[in-house]
Amino acid sequence: MEGVARRSMMGMAYRDKDIFASLCQKMLPVLEEKKQRLGRKLRFMEVCGTHTVSFSKTGVREVLADYVDLVSGPGCPVCVTDQSDMDQMIAFAKRSDTIVATFGDMMKVPGSYSNLYKEKADGAEVRIVYSPSQAVEIARQNPQKQVVFLGVGFETTVPSIALSIRKAEREKVRNYFVYSAHKLTPPALQPLIQDPTHQLDGFLLPGHVSVIIGRKGWNLLESLNEPAVIGGFEPIDLLTSIYLLTLEMNKERRSVVNNYSRMVRENGNEKAQELLKEIFEVDSVKWRGFGILPNSGLRMNAAYQSYDALTNLPVDRPVTKGIKGCRCGEIVKGKETPFGCPLFAKACTPENPIGPCMVSSEGTCSTYYQFERGKEKITY
Amino acid sequence: MCLSVPAKIIEIGSSGWQAKVDYLGSHIDVGISLLDRVEVGQYVLVHVGEAIQVVDEELAKESIEIWKGWLDEA
């Protein structure tokens, strides 16, 4: 129990009500002044589904509401996975000799004609795992089957998936494959910055992606002179990061600020970065809502082709079609709020999600459904 | 999906690839091969079964103290 007590103490410091209230007293007038000078509210984009949830869950979104519009960006890997990738994953599940292993978030994400949950109900072998290494164990226990792990995730998650490939290699598990739909976060921000119709004043950068890529992984934003702060997830992290973003706006020459130094180092986790380079290569891939983004994804490189589900397990992938009425493609770019979608909280709910942003617990629609309904004043 | 939690290392496995951590009183096996060096008693950030960073407790304390100090300034 000592561990529990000590962890709480460390986490609690960033949740301290009195410090938070005192910080608000000093910081909110600075936000107000900036708002007055601009003649409008500040508009910052958070690029992490965990931030979207934290702003709502902690009430910090409401504390800031008079000064700042928080725009949810492409921070949920499940949500930005393209429809054609979903169809490919569902097609793997239809193979009679194949077990699909996946994180639970993917089960109800709609493909063009089905989802993994329905496929499982129809007899497909789809298993939920909490860690990619569990999928290697499934492969070892089922040598007569092919096991495909659905590789969905940002820089935070890919090293663990890379380790599962290394584990399969080390333990000579030959029937383990990964379908790599992995995405890199920084390349998705460039089109948002350069979109003339998108008025964004800066970015709250994802804390745990930054653990892997480091502060210097965001060089692209620095070269574009964009206000950007790496932040944590507790109330004081959120408030101070928004304050620091506001200060960055006033500077002529901006650098990416690391406001999560207890977790994020300048160079990130170099061991994880080396592992990614060893197994994957950067490729231009398709994102939901964005289309093909240059150098924004990871594919298995030539040396690891024998673990690539795409090249080793042929499937009949159906012709991909869009989801009628769903605004997820605009929501992941922060061009639309869930309230702007005609399906939100009517036809599309967490129980019966029509689009991926309602499926993942960190999807913008799911978060707004849980915490922000009845506050339709939120507009971008 | 990038949700990660800090947990305390309570035992390091003999292979050097795994450790047992304490997360809110539960004891869980996690991979440690993404870290250079880890010691019993340290806190690590755990994501999908792998420790991805050692928590810098000194910096954690220092950062909050900096904000508290900033509040005390005139």
| All domains of chain B in start order, with CATH | 5-73 (2.30.30.140)
**pLDDT per residue as tens digits for the range A249-278:** 999 999 999 999 999 999 999 999 999 999
Confidence of residue B60 (pLDDT cuts 50, 70, 90): confident
Closest CA to A66 of A37, A35, A112, A104: A35
Sheet holding A257-258, edge to edge: A68-72, A42-46, A202-205, A228-230, A257-258
Q: Which of A128-137, A169-178, A316-325 has the lowest mean pLDDT?
A: A316-325
Write down the pLDDT at residue A269.
98
The CA–CA distances, whole Å, from B29 to A135, A176, B22, B25, B51 equal 16, 22, 9, 13, 10
Write down the pLDDT at residue A380.
60
A271/B34 Cβ within 8 A: yes
**Sequence-distant (≥ 6) Cβ neighbours of residue A124 within 8 angstroms:** A93, A94, A100, A116
- A109: buried, middle or exposed (CB in 10 Å: 19+, 13-18, 0-12)? buried
Determine contact: A211 vs chain B, CB below 8 A: yes
pTM of the model: 0.94
Q: Which of A71-80, A250-259, B1-10 has the lowest mean pLDDT?
A: B1-10
* A75 and B29 Cβ atoms separated by less than 8 Å: no
Determine contact: A170 vs chain B, CB below 8 A: no
Measure the CA–CA gap between A116 and A276, rounded to whole angstroms.
Answer: 28
Write down the pLDDT at residue A379.
60
B21 SS3 class: strand
Residue A10 above 80 pLDDT? no
> Which residues in chain A are closer than 8 Å to B50, comparing Cβ atoms?
131, 159-160, 163
Determine contact: B74 vs chain A, CB below 8 A: no
| Cβ-nearest to A78 among B1, B33, B63 | B1
When pLDDT is averaged across residues A313-329 and rounded to a whole number, the result is 93
Cα A56 to the center of its chain, rounded Å: 17
For A:216-255, CB contacts with B below 8 A are: 236, 240
Strands (E), B13-42: 18-23, 26-31
Confidence of residue A5 (pLDDT cuts 50, 70, 90): very low
Write down the pLDDT at residue A377.
58
A247 SS3 class: helix
> Which residues in chain B are closer than 8 Å to A50, comparing Cβ atoms?
2-3
Torsion-angle region of A324 (φ positive above 0: left; ψ -120 to 50: alpha; else: beta): beta
Measure the CA–CA gap between A47 and A333, rounded to whole angstroms.
Answer: 10
Write down the pLDDT at residue A2.
41
* B12 and B38 Cβ atoms separated by less than 8 Å: yes
Q: Which residues pair with A344 in a beta bridge?
A: A348
Q: Strands B18-23 and B5-12: what pairing?
A: antiparallel
Tally of CB atoms within 10 A around A200: 20
**Sequence-distant (≥ 6) Cβ neighbours of residue A12 within 8 angstroms:** none
Write down the pLDDT at residue A348.
96
First CA to last CA distance, chain A = 45
B59/A262 Cβ within 8 A: yes
Write down the pLDDT at residue A360.
87
When pLDDT is averaged across residues A88-101 and rounded to a whole number, the result is 97
B33/A263 Cβ within 8 A: no
Measure the CA–CA gap between A330 and A101, rounded to whole angstroms.
Answer: 29
| Total length of chain A | 380
| Total length of chain B | 74
% residues pLDDT > 90 (chain A):
91
> Which residues in chain B are closer than 8 Å to A258, comparing Cβ atoms?
none
**pLDDT per residue as tens digits for the range A219-252:** 999 999 999 999 999 999 999 999 999 999 999 9
**pLDDT per residue as tens digits for the range A207-226:** 999 999 999 999 999 999 99
Confidence of residue B3 (pLDDT cuts 50, 70, 90): confident
Measure the CA–CA gap between A34 and A188, rounded to whole angstroms.
Answer: 27
